[in-house]
C-alpha cells in the first residue's frame, strides 16, 4: 500500500496544467463516444471487444504463447480497419452532430410560436388515444428528416388536430407510417422510420410495444427529433427523445413534455445549446420533466 501511495504522490507531483488539460480532453472524448453509443448495438459490440482484448492480454502475459502472440500482433491492423466499418452509424451520427453544432448561434431550434404546433399535436394525440387509433408523429428539430419523408408521401399542410385525425383514421391510405412535422407544417406522412435495436423496449416492463414504439425510439436514437406514439392496443401515449421513452402521458403532462423537449421554455446559453445539440438526452435528464 505504501508503495502505491508513493507512486501516486510521484504522479501528482509531475502533474502540470498542460497534463491536466490533456487528461481532461482524453476523458471528454471517451465520454462523448460513450454517450453517442449508449443503449445501442455498438455498446454491446464495444463490451465484447473490450472483454476479448482483456482475455487475450491475460493469455499473452501469463503464458508463453509465441504463435498466438504473433497471430494477435498481425491481427491488430485488420481490427483497426474493421472498427470504422462496425461503428459506421455511430461515427456518422457523431459527425452530423458536430456539423450541427457549428450552427451554434444560428436560429436552429423551433421558434416560440411552435406552441400552436404542440397544442395541436397534444389535442390530436388525446383524441386518437380515446379512439384507440394508433399513431406515430415525429417533430423535427435540428436534424433534417428529409430522407425519411422521401420514403412516404410528401405533404405541405398546416398542422391541425383535424388533419392528424384524418391521416391516422384506420384503413386510410396514409395511416400506416409516421407523420413528420417541421416548421409548423406536416411535411410528410406514411413515412418509414428506423427501428430501434437497442433493447430498451425489450427490457421494459411494458409489453404492449409494437413497431410504432420501436420506430419512435429508433428515430430518437438517430436524430434529435421528438417522436410521439399512440398505442393502437391500449391507447397509451408515449414520447421518445434522445434514445429514451416516457410512457402513459395524459393531456397536460404530454404538453409539458413536448414543450420541454421540442421548444425549451427559456433560450439556452451557448454552452447549453452546444451540449443539447451534441447530446440531446442531456437536456432531457437535466429537465427531468420538472416543468410538467
pLDDT of residue 73: 79
DSSP helix/strand/coil, 158: strand
pLDDT of residue 292: 38
How many Cα atoms occupy the beta-carbon half-sphere of 226 within 13 Å?
26
Torsion of CA 131, 136, 138, 144, to 10 degrees: -150
CA distance 119 to 115: 6
Domain 112-287, what architecture? 3-Layer(aba) Sandwich (3.40)
The residue extents of the domains of the chain are: 2-101, 112-287
Q: Decide: pTM greater than 0.85.
A: no
Give, in degrees to the nearest 5, the angle at Cα 282 between 249 and 234: 20
pLDDT of residue 126: 94
Q: Which residues of the chain have pLDDT under 70?
A: 1, 36-44, 87, 89-90, 92-115, 198-208, 263-292
Cα separation values, 60 from 68, 76, 79, 234, Å: 8, 14, 18, 56
pLDDT of residue 276: 53
pLDDT of residue 93: 66
pLDDT of residue 252: 82
pLDDT of residue 237: 94
Amino acid at each position: 500500500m505504501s508503495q502505491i501511495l508513493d507512486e501516486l504522490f510521484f504522479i501528482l507531483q509531475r502533474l502540470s496544467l498542460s497534463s491536466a488539460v490533456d487528461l481532461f480532453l482524453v476523458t471528454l472524448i471517451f465520454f462523448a463516444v460513450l454517450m453517442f453509443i449508449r443503449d445501442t448495438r455498438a455498446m454491446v459490440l464495444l463490451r465484447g471487444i473490450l472483454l476479448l482484448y482483456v482475455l487475450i492480454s491475460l493469455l499473452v502475459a501469463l503464458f508463453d504463447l509465441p504463435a498466438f502472440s504473433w497471430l494477435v500482433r498481425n491481427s491488430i491492423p485488420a481490427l483497426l480497419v474493421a472498427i470504422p466499418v462496425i461503428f459506421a452509424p455511430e461515427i456518422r451520427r457523431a459527425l452530423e452532430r458536430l456539423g450541427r453544432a457549428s450552427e451554434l448561434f444560428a436560429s436552429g431550434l423551433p421558434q416560440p410560436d411552435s406552441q400552436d404546433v404542440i397544442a395541436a399535436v397534444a389535442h390530436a394525440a388525446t383524441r386518437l388515444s380515446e379512439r384507440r387509433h394508433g399513431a406515430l408523429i415525429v417533430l423535427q428539430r435540428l436534424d433534417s428528416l428529409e430522407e425519411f419523408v422521401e420514403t412516404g408521401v410528401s405533404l405541405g399542410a398546416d398542422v391541425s388536430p383535424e388533419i392528424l385525425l384524418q391521416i391516422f383514421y384506420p384503413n386510410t391510405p396514409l395511416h400506416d407510417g409516421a407523420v413528420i412535422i417541421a416548421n409548423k407544417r406536416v411535411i410528410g406522412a406514411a413515412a418509414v422510420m428506423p427501428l430501434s435495436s437497442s433493447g430498451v423496449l425489450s427490457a421494459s416492463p411494458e409489453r404492449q410495444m409494437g413497431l410504432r414504439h420501436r420506430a419512435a425510439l429508433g428515430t430518437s436514437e438517430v436524430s434529435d427529433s421528438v417522436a410521439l406514439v399512440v398505442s393502437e392496443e391500449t391507447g397509451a401515449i408515449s414520447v421518445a427523445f434522445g434514445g429514451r421513452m416516457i410512457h402513459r402521458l395524459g393531456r397536460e403532462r404530454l404538453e409539458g413534455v413536448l414543450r420541454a423537449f421540442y421548444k425549451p421554455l427559456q433560450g439556452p446559453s451557448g454552452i447549453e445549446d452546444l451540449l443539447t445539440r451534441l447530446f440531446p438526452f442531456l437536456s432531457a435528464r437535466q429537465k427531468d420533466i420538472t416543468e410538467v
